[in-house]
Every structure is written in structure tokens, then in C-alpha cells.
A and B are shown apart, each in its own frame.
Chain A
Amino acid sequence: MNDFLLEIGKNPQARKMLGALGLPLPIPEPLTRDTGPYSDLALRDVNVAVVAAPGHTLGGEIARALVGAGANPFLADPESLGHVFREPSEAYGRPARALSSLGEKEKLGAVVFDASGISTIKDLRALYDALAPLVGRVKKSGRIVVLAREPGQEHPEVDAARAAIEGFVRSVSKEVGGKGATANLVRVAKGAEKRLAPVLRFFLSPRSAFVSGQPIVVNATAKELSEPPLVRPFEGKLVLVTGAARGIGASTAKAFARDGAHVLLVDRPDDAKELSQLARELGGTPVLVDVTADEASRTLIDAIKARSPEGRLDVIVHNAGITRDKTLARMKAEQWDQVLAVNLEAVVRLTRDLEPLLRENGRILGLSSVAGIAGNMGQTAYAATKAGVIGFVRAQSKRLADRGITVNAVAPGFIETRMTAAIPFAIREGARRLSALGQGGQPVDVAEALVFLASPGAQGVTGQVLRVCGGALVGA
């Protein structure tokens, strides 16, 4: 589980020495993370450069997001953006200054590029003009976020130009990954502008440490939610996490509890000891049941009713999952069945039985996998279930949009867990290094993505798959 190169990377002396030796080892940069509770000032004192292509439309939302979160905005072109910053800057004492006033040598915590005005091939030049001089100034664990409009329904050239932005951002993520920095694309649908700020917060904050090279859409699909709370977002909420005894599930339960939720921690009776201990630590409720068992739904509904008098639930996280890796020819039918039963059938069945209990603006979250997107040797059954989860959340998101419920999946890449520690060394090394950030993620990285998607601020994100893969080479 120990990443030798990452450990070396943490020691500046050793880093220097290896550099001097000229070894062809890409030493990964240790990532800055924020594992504390959600705070008002998620970007406190971070210097953020704001650049916009002509015809930009999202300046006001960017200003609100940055200044409200405590960032110091620096504008590449104060003439075109200054006016949108005036109100929030004055209110929070965060004056928007000209980027030129920041010394050339001063590093940037983040760059936000508003590319919403881009609609022709010629316009794409703005990407080059804006970011070429800035990528080098982004500091370690820094952030680049490009904001754009969605392709679709318009002129083919418009779609070409807007689609081009994605290839650009994915490639930038590879260029900055060596210093632990990330680059992501946020597409804002018409009418969803007001939902952008909390999403932008997440992608600029250390909570998205292992998300890079990813596009996400902020849409107006799910019914609106007024004034999402930014601090203790799960206060008074009931969150159910399956597979909560260890690994990603345990991390996720901890993160929800940290931000105010009462967590129902679900796992198999075999894991009673770990589960009860964690539940006690988090002040949550352990529920011992195998998600594939006939009585699973009944048991969970009883647990929900025991906790909530009206029998209502706020968040379901379908985290329980298993692997039975074998090439197709060698796989036994029982193995196939087991994987399908836990990873997909249980997800569908539990959602069917528990979804009626979900409150308005509730959340359903599935765990997909990069293997489900790209396919993987020896994982036919596993990848099938993980791709299945994607189809499932897309369909459910539309069905539940009227109740304000969002349905999404997180697709982890290589995460340092007991499961991945069992992978043979050479394959494990390959999986770690073949990504923009050159290292594996931590369970908490997946937990933070799940917490973000479940938070009230993510009302604009539904029917999507967020990859937490460090910009893995594989997968579309």
C-alpha cells in the first residue's frame, strides 16, 4: 500500500538528489488535501487569476463563488470583468486587482477561465492566449478550471468549438499533473448559472485533489433548491452508506458524519466488529445486513424508521462492491453471479425499495469505476456492473428530477485500499503511474467527491459520472 516514490517525493532533499542523478523516474508531487469539515471560507486567501474569453457570460457567478469563499481575485482584464466583482468585493473586503499588479514571479493558487463566450474555431485561440502564459505560474496542488457552455442543438461549428475545449482541458491536466495541480472543465447549461458557485468551489478547493482532466455539467435538470447551506451541509440529515466497514465506505461515512449527518453504516454481519466500532466513533447506527439478502430492504427500512420518525432518508450511497477477477474463460458462473448480485442487482433493488422514502432534494449515489468506463483485463463481470451503474444513474436522474433528487456516480481510478494492495506489484505500479498526477488516490478523495455530490450545493449536478482517478490514462 505504501507508495515508495510518493514517500521520496515528500522529502525535498531526496527529490533534489534524484533529480540531479537524472533518473527517468517521475517523482509524484504529494497532494494537498482538506479533510476538515466544510467551511465558509473554502478558498481563504488563495490567489486566483480570472480570465475570460470575449462574449463571456459567467463573470457574476465566478465573482460570487470566489469572493464568498475567501479567494483573492486577480483579473487579467479588469476592464471587462471589474464591474461584476464590485459588489461582492466590497461586501467581503476582497478587492479584485489587476493580474499585472501581482509580481511575475508570484505563483497562482488557481486559474479560472470563463470560456462561455467561445463559439467559433477562431475563438479557440483565446484558450491559448489566456492559459499559455499562466500554466507555468500555477503552484503545487494548484487548480485550473475552465468554464464553458454545453455543445448541442446549435450550429455544427459551435459544437466543434465547444467540444474542442474538452480535449484542451484534458491535455492541460497532463501538463500540470507533475506538480500535483489539476485542470477540469465545468460546462454550464442555460438556466443553471445560479447553480455554478458551489460546484466551482469544489473544483477549486483541495477537496478535489484527485479529480483531474474531467468534464462536469451543471444543469437545471433537478428541481431548484434555494440557498444551499455551505457549512454543516448534512445537519439533521440521514445518510445511508453500504459497505461502510472499511476502505472507501468507511472514509465516506466519516466524511458525512464530519459534516453533520447521522450515518446508517451498512455492512455484512461478518464485519460486525469493525462496523460497530466505526459507528460508535461517528455517533452513527450500524446496520448488519448483506445487501444481496432477501431481507435487506426490510432491514434497512426498519433502521431508517427507527432513526427518523417520519421514516425519511436524505442520501443513499451504494458503495458495497466486490471483485472476483478472472478472465472470462476461467471465470466460474457463481463468481459472475456474485459480482452481479452485489454490484448491480442490489443497487437496483435497494433503490427501488428505498427511493420512496427519500426526501425532496435527496441524493442517490452509485460507485462506478474507471474499469467500467474503459474495461479491464480479467474484470468482465466487474466492469459490466460498473458500466451498468452509469446507465442506472442516468436513467434515475431524469425520473427523480421533479422531486429535486439528484442521482450520480463516482468512478474511482487507482485508489490505495486493501483491495488494490493485493494487485501484483508491476500492474499496481502501472496503474498508479499512468495518470496525470502519477500516484494513487486515497479513499478520502472518493469520499470527498461523494460528499460534494450529496451536498445541497450540487443541486446542478445530476445524471453524471465524476471520475476520481488522478487523470488516469485509460477511459474516455
Chain B
Amino acid sequence: MAKEEKKSRRAVIVRGVRTPFVRAFGELTKLDSIALGGAAVKGLLAKVGIPYKEIDGIVWGGVILPSAAPNIAREIALDLQLGAEVEGMTVTRACASGLQAITLAAAAIERGEADVLIAGGSDSTSNAELKMPQKVVHTLAPLALGKPTPGDILGALAQLAPFTDIFPKTPKIAERTTGEVMGESAERMAKRNEITREAQDAFALASHKRAAKAIADGLFDDEIVPVLTPDRGEIRADGLVRADTSMEKLAKLRPVFAKDGTLTAGNSSALTDGASAVLLMSEEKAKSLGLTPLAAFSSWSYVGVDPSDQLLIGPAIAVPRALAKAGLELKDVDFVDLHEAFAAQVLSVTKAYASAAFARARLGRDTAVGEVDPEKLNVYGGSLALGHPFGATGARMVTTMSNLLARSGKRTAVLGICAAGGLGAAAVLERV
């Protein structure tokens, strides 16, 4: 019954776009997460050209949310003057936030809550806010909020003495529960899963080469929308892909997370600014508007693992779960797209897929999920080459895979994303 209902109302992906992805503190520094999101949504609507009144709302994903206006989705709708009726919500699920926004939108459409939704995500590491220590906030807030006498001010100063720990701390990507920086977790995963430096560098190299080729072949032209900046003019191209990198160049880089480590700037994803947006609607709506859908979700899955164990191994569990829900085996899918936080993390995950022991202990199945065919994996590169604006990555992957399915005429793609907090996300896309 439920299944039939689902069949009768399916959410489809009509179009996806993204801004160029550039290194943090680069060309997009002047645009915050809201402005970047606005640029992506504006570009998306320009490409599709549907009347604004058809849009029910925006679902947005972000990781570093602007504290003065954390509901990015609504701010985008208001900034672009899409109409007061276009509502908005913003979700956060670490690096899976973009995918989370899209699957939420799909669920809302399939449930009949909405007909047309824009979903996606953005992040601007360049605009991460410096946080005042709580000690300072708690001491100074009464002064700022009340009518302090000189005595109060002196008293507050006395409380802050001897003036240690009163300066804002540099934000870093550290796990709240373990205090470990994400690269350190990935470094430990490399050691535990015996992923060599060479294997990581080779994987990173392939990511750059594939991304560079996709750019050269014009395969991203349809999905990248230019962004107008106040200080650098119009930004049209990705900034991180290195067509000319080589094993020799990568081998020269020093480990960054441990002295005797294997993770370098070359085989780790960079802090990136960018946004990506996807247009979803019910199948009937697409038909009535005369739009050709690209793809739809067969399934998705979100999981959690112990962050103190292997922080980024989540996709090793989420992907098999999503595949099982879709009634598929890994060998059945045409494309595998794994978010590349670190080469070591992707290789740890694919090693787990290939392990029968892992499948028995962690997935309750007798056989390995399967070897991932390198020809199907991250065919246009991934976050190592393109960069990783946290909230945007999931939407970037959905966009690229939907386009690839439509263009190639193949049937299915599976997406896997690891995220802070020990989260794992996966989704199966099918061509419509």
C-alpha cells in the first residue's frame, strides 16, 4: 500500500547547479554563506526559468551557520525576492548537510507537503566567525545589556584578570566529544586500515586528473553558474583543480597531521567556499511545467558510528544500507560517488566494502559488499580536487550524478558521504 502510494507520487530532480568552488580566503571571501547560496539559487532559476510562484520553499544545508541569521534558506528567498510565500528551513548534519536538505525536500514532496522545492547547501569557511570565550561573554554581557556604573566596569575587569584566555580562539574542525581534529582521525584511520602514502597520493592524483578532464571536456559547463563578487569581478571557474599535479609533486608534500603521518595537503580536501542548489518537484508537476526530470531517489540512509573509533567510516555502513533498501547490490550500480574528505578515508571505506570480515561483523551479511570498480568510482573526481564547501558537497554530488545518469543513459548511481560526529550518509539515484 505504502509502496504504491510512493510510486504514485515521486519526487524528481529536474536540475542542479553549483557556484565555482574556490579555496577559502580566495576569490569568494567577500560572499558569506547566504550570498553564495543566493548566487547558486539565482543561477538555478535562471537556467530553468520557472515562475517564482511555483516554488513552495527552500531547504538548505550548512555547517558554519551565520549566527545572526542561521536560517540561510529563508534569507536566500528574501534576498532574491522570490516572494514572501516562499518559505525556508535550514538543516545541519555536518558534511552531509547538503544531501540531508535534498532528501528532506524529496520526502516532503513525496509526502505531499510541497510540489516544488529548491534544496542545496553552502558554506563559506572564509566567513567563519571568531568566537569570544564564554568567560568574556559572561563577564561583559551584563555591562552591555544594563546601565553599568564605573564600579561595575572595574569589577568586570577584575573578573577577567589576569587576562588569560580572553582572546578569541581560531576555529578548527575538531570533534566536540574527542577534541580530535578531523585530519588526526583520518590519520589514525590510515594507520589502522594500512592505507599507504602512495595509495593516498595515487587516489588524489586520479581525482585531480579526472576533474581536470571533466572541466576540459566541458562536462561541468551545464552545472557551474558564475558568481559576481564585489571585489574580484565575475568568478566562472573552479579554483582548486590541478591538471598538472603528479605523483612526484604529491610525494614532496609534508605530512600535516602527524610527524610520521601520511596525510598531506595533497591528499586531504581543502577548506573551500561554494554553494550548490538542486530543483526538485513531483513528477506530475515536472510534466505539467514541461520539464524533463534527470533522476529520482530510490533510497537513502543516514547512520552513526563511534566518533572515537573510526570517525569517517560511516559510508561503509550507510552505502550498503541504502543499496539494500533499493534492492541493489554494489555490482549492480553504474556509478559510485564517494565524498573525498581524505584519500585515506575513501580508501578505508572501499577496503571495508571489499572485506567479508567487515560485512560479517558490522553489516550482518555473509559476503563482502564488493570491490569498487575504479572505473565507476568518482568518475569526475571528487572533493580532493574540486574542494569541499561543507554544506554544498552533497548537492554538488547529486547534481553531477544526476547529469551523468541523464547523459550516459545508465541506470543507477550510489552516493556516500562521511561527516563529523561519526555520521555516514548515502543515497541511491536512479535515472528517470
Q: Chain A interface (Cβ within 8 Å of chain B)?
A: 40-41, 44, 70, 86-95
Contact = CB atoms under 8 A, between A and B. Distances in A.
B329 interface: no
Contacts of B360: 87, 91
Contact of A41 (B309, B313, B357, B358): B309
- Report which residue of B189, B194, B313, B348 has the largest number of chain A beta carbons within 10 angstroms of its beta carbon: B194
B189 A93 contact: yes
B192 interface: yes
Contact of B310 (A89, A90, A93): A93
B309 A90 contact: no
Given A41-B306, A41-B308, 16 more contacts: A40-B306, A44-B308, A44-B309, A70-B309, A86-B357, A87-B357, A87-B360, A88-B361, A90-B355, A90-B358, A91-B357, A91-B362, A92-B361, A93-B189, A93-B348, A95-B194
A41 B355 CA distance: 21
A109 to B, nearest CB: 16
- Report which residue of A44, A86, A90 has the largest number of chain B beta carbons within 10 angstroms of its beta carbon: A90
Interface string B338-364: 000000000010001001011011100
B358 A91 contact: yes
B348 A90 contact: no
A331 B189 CA distance: 66
Contact of B192 (A86, A87, A88, A94): A94
A93 B306 contact: no
Contacts, number: 33
Contacts of B126: none
- Report which residue of A86, A92, A94 has the largest number of chain B beta carbons within 10 angstroms of its beta carbon: A92
A88 B357 contact: yes
A250 to B, nearest CB: 29
Contacts of A92: 361
A262 B329 CA distance: 44
B350 to A, nearest CB: 13
B193 interface: yes
Contact of A90 (B189, B306, B308, B357): B357
A89 B193 CA distance: 9
Contacts of B362: 91
A91 B308 contact: no
A93 B308 contact: no
A457 to B, nearest CB: 18
Contacts of A41: 306, 308-309
A171 to B, nearest CB: 36
A87 B192 CA distance: 14
Nearest to A70: B309
A373 to B, nearest CB: 40
A91 B355 contact: yes
30 contacts: A40-B306, A41-B306, A41-B309, A44-B308, A44-B309, A70-B309, A86-B357, A87-B357, A87-B360, A88-B357, A88-B361, A89-B357, A90-B355, A90-B357, A90-B358, A91-B355, A91-B357, A91-B358, A91-B360, A91-B361, A91-B362, A92-B361, A93-B193, A93-B310, A93-B313, A93-B348, A93-B352, A94-B192, A95-B192, A95-B194
A70 B355 CA distance: 18
The 7 closest A-B pairs by CB, nearest first: A91-B361, A90-B357, A93-B192, A91-B357, A87-B357, A93-B193, A91-B358
Interface in B302-353: 306, 308-310, 313, 348, 352
A166 to B, nearest CB: 35
A89 B360 CA distance: 12
Contacts of B348: 93
Nearest to A64: B361
A462 B357 CA distance: 33
B178 to A, nearest CB: 10
A87 B362 CA distance: 12
A93 B361 CA distance: 11
Nearest to A87: B357
A205 to B, nearest CB: 15
A90 B193 CA distance: 8
- Report which residue of B308, B309, B352 has the largest number of chain A beta carbons within 10 angstroms of its beta carbon: B309
Nearest to B360: A91
A95 B355 CA distance: 13
A93 B190 CA distance: 10
A89 B361 CA distance: 11
Nearest to A91: B361
A431 to B, nearest CB: 39
B49 to A, nearest CB: 50
Contacts of A89: 357
Nearest to B194: A95
Contacts of B306: 40-41
Nearest to B348: A93
Contacts of B357: 86-91
B280 to A, nearest CB: 37
A91 B356 CA distance: 8
A90 B360 CA distance: 11
Contacts of B313: 93
A91 B313 CA distance: 12
Nearest to B309: A41
Contacts of A95: 192, 194
A89 B352 CA distance: 12
A18 B308 CA distance: 38
Nearest to B308: A44
B320 to A, nearest CB: 14
A70 B307 CA distance: 13
- Report which residue of B308, B358, B361 has the largest number of chain A beta carbons within 10 angstroms of its beta carbon: B361
A92 to B, nearest CB: 7
A194 to B, nearest CB: 16
Contacts of A90: 355, 357-358
- Report which residue of B193, B348, B352, B357 has the largest number of chain A beta carbons within 10 angstroms of its beta carbon: B357
A44 B194 CA distance: 18
Contacts of A86: 357
A84 to B, nearest CB: 12
A70 B188 CA distance: 13
Nearest to B192: A93
Nearest to A95: B194
